[in-house]
Amino acid sequence: MNSPGIQAGSGSARLGIGIDAGGTYTDVVLYDFTSHRVLQKAKSLTTKWNYALGIDRALDRLDASRLREVDLVSVSTTLATNAVVEGRGQKVGLLLMPPYGFREPELFTHDIITFIAGKLEIDGQELAPVNPDEVRREVQSMVDRLGVQAFAVAGYASHANPLHELQVKAALRDVSDAAVTCSHEVSERLHYRIRAETAVLNARIIPCLDAFLADVETAIRNRGLRAPLMVVRSDGSLMSLAAARARPVETLLSGPAASVAGAGFLSGAADAVVVDIGGTTTDTATLRHGAVQTCHEGARVGQWQTHVESLDMRTMGLGGDSRLRWMQGELTIGPQRVAPLAWLAAEHPRTPEALAWVDTHLARFLHASGGMEILALTPHAHRALGSDAERRVVQRLAERPYSVDELVKAEGARVEHFLPLERLEEDYIVQRCALTPTDLLHACGRLALWDAAISTRVCAWFARLMHLELDAFVQHGLDMVVRTLAKEILMQRLAGRIPVARLETPGAQALLDEALAADGDGFRVRVALTTPIVGIGAPAALFLPAAAKLLQAEVMVPEHADVANAVGAITAMVRIHRRVVIAINDKGVYRLEGLPGTPLFDRIEDAQAHAVQELTALVAQLGREAGSLDARVDIQIHDRTAPRKDGGEHFIDRAVEALLCGQPDLVRLAG
């Protein structure tokens, strides 16, 4: 799994910096391309209001004299993944070109929809053209009336011919510089509603990525580093900074993809389940025969099946900083991320005053613990505030942290819903702090990063609410984390064989719960994984061994597992893959699916020659844009057939696939 060493023209690169900006921590590694070793590593808390600060603090812990020798900087991030899991993002307007004029907004889960002119036949032939003037009018109207901040464009049969979507995107650009996602860019699925919803999902989270990349570039350039900066794509390969800005949707699973690549590199395992436990999410994927398994249907992120071709990975909202809540007699965990209370106490000296309110009003939280959560200002609190109510909240929190319940009373609100917190939290002006697995680890003495006494104090509140002894509550919480983690690993192993929808039925979930239970009620179900589990991420060593024991599996937590994402980022390569399908219509004419505006052909040989020529040029161009040094494109041809009664075969279609895999062109990227 070792990196072959990145070439820069005729010479080898010396050193590289890998950066992973996660939901909780920013990790950096200094990597030697010659010896294939991590020379140094460092961590810093991620500063979401300005990622450059967290990156800068982590880089401060590396040898400054060696940084001048760096030839490449590569970055991965969980920013997009966490935004999907936590339900954050921008307001998106969806521009639809439905089949045959059908207008059925109720068939879509998204509610900001405009239907526009432009129709294609199923084979991609044009039935009615796009009207650019109409596009410009509708876009301007959506911005003015609804405050739309990003756009998704989807048309029937754009998987076969993306020309209409590209024309709409061009017209849209005339009146708006908002982020745009075309459905053919994110999915090759035939069903245009699925492509449309996927485009909306990506458009919703894309606008924040540009600001992130600007922060990264600022942190790197301010240190005088002129090395090329590259970004990890969702399939674990690299793309140039310019390409990432032009097609940011391809970074949706950047962080998880880098983690799996890093796990394979560090462990050397050929076959394994990779489990990356971060502060916000847990990602699970599979290594088989030394290669990361990919999924044409797209990875699952929280409740979303993304339909973005990427690593075959599941992501759930479980991490070291997942929120623990007591509601209606049940303890729940995640998917939202909060700051640990142990950290809050170390950062804000007046935290005990906020906790004192909860101590004297604990009876108010017998049925729900939300009011016990603590709100504190971040260093980003100087940003412009939108209302008097927001200003009052910020002024009050400038004095000291407040519990939600105390703030409700102080502001004269009836319930939390009437406090202006949503935007303040989304913009990282206000940080919500609550009980987390990290606090549980502090309370039982297994972790000592911050203020363990505060964690213990809050655990005692929960123990009283649940009528448990303190030690019993802490163990109950840790056991819940471990069982949730083990269940997710088992779900990942089963998902390749059983549709996810079937695994999520009550009966299937009950069976999985029984398999992980300590004692059976009249029967016993046990599972044993035959492949090892490779754990990465800072919390992996703390939770994964117990989860692996429930699954009777071998577990490996390799050296540098805590910075595996950053290692995966700097050891990755540029990889471009595209596919065109040649199919025959009812008139015996061959058509190409996957290229814009292609002609029809009478002979399959001519269709194939055209496909190879256009696909080779396209992939070579995308490779150059992504920053590849290599220009060689490998072509593979696959026919899909069905048996006939006479023993022969019936032709269905022919797939032409093009692959470019190469090292970054450091000379050109640096220029």
Q: Please give the residue that has the higher pLDDT: either 239 or 292.
A: 239
The 10 Å Cβ neighbour count of residue 4 is 11
Residues facing 154 on adjacent strands: 96
Q: Is 101 helix (H, G, I), strand (E, B) or coil?
A: helix
User: Of 465, 496, 529, which residue sits at a domain end?
Assistant: 465
The answer as to whether 394 is a domain residue is yes
Pair (131, 220) in one structural domain: no
Q: What is the pLDDT of residue 289?
A: 78
Tokens representing residue 480 in the block: 């819940």
Q: Are 613 and 606 contacting, i.e. CB atoms less than 8 angstroms apart? A: no
Structural domain span for residue 447: 330-465
State mean pLDDT over 142-171.
92
Q: Are residues 67 and 110 in the same domain?
A: no
Band (47; pLDDT cuts 50, 70, 90): confident
Residue 495 belongs to a domain: no
Q: By three-state DSSP, how is residue 545 classified?
A: helix
- Per-residue model confidence as pLDDT tens digits over 580-624: 999 888 888 998 888 877 788 999 999 999 999 999 999 998 888
Residue 520: pLDDT band by 50, 70, 90 thresholds?
Answer: low
Percent of the chain predicted with pLDDT > 90? 42
Q: Is residue 546 part of a domain?
A: no
For residue 651, the SS3 value is strand
CA distance 260 to 264: 6
Residues 6+ apart with CB under 8 A from 556: 267, 269, 272, 532, 533, 534, 535
**353 and 237: one domain?**
no
Question: Which pLDDT does position 210 carry in this prediction?
Answer: 79
What percent of the chain shows pLDDT beyond 70? 88
Does any domain span residue 490? no
Report the predicted TM-score, pTM, of the whole model to 2 decimal places. Answer: 0.72
Q: How many CA atoms lie within 13 A of 595 on its CB side?
A: 27
Same domain, 62 and 100: no
Claim to verify: residue 580 and residue 644 sit in the same structural domain: yes
Residue 336 belongs to some domain of the structure = yes
Q: Is 504 part of a structural domain of the chain?
A: no
Looking at 440, 465, 490, the residue that finishes a domain is 465
Higher pLDDT, 168 or 649: 168
Can you spell out the DSSP letters for 552-590? T--EE--TTGGGHHHHHHHT--EEEEEEEEEEE-TTS-E
Position with higher pLDDT, 154 vs 101: 154
Structural domain count, the chain: 4
Asked if residue 59 is part of any domain, the answer here is yes
- The 3-state DSSP class for residue 46 equals coil
**Do 69 and 150 fall into the same domain?**
no
pLDDT per position as a tens digit, 344-381: 999 999 999 999 999 999 989 989 999 999 999 987 66
Query: What pLDDT does 155 receive?
Result: 92
DSSP 235: T
Residue 641 · residue 650 · CB < 8 Å:
yes
Same domain, 44 and 133: no
Q: What is the CATH number of the domain that holds 16?
A: 3.30.420.40
Are 448 and 591 contained in the same domain? no
Locate tokens 């991490």: which residue? 319
- Interval 76-87: pLDDT, tens: 987 776 677 666
Residue that finishes a domain, picked among 465, 490, 517 = 465
Task: State yes or no: pLDDT of 471 exceeds 80.
Answer: yes
For residue 88, the 8-state DSSP code is: -
* CA–CA distance, 294 with 660 (Å, rounded to integer): 16
Return the SS3 of 226. coil
Whether residue 511 lies inside any domain: the answer is: no
Whether residues 445 and 588 share a domain: the answer is no
Distance (Å, whole) CA 223 – CA 134: 48
Whether residues 164 and 256 share a domain: the answer is no
Question: Of the candidates 286, 284, 310, 285, which has an alpha carbon nearest to the alpha carbon of residue 299?
Answer: 310
**Is residue 65 domain-shared with residue 103, that is, in the same domain?**
no
76 and 213 inside one domain:
yes
Amino acid 12: pLDDT: 52
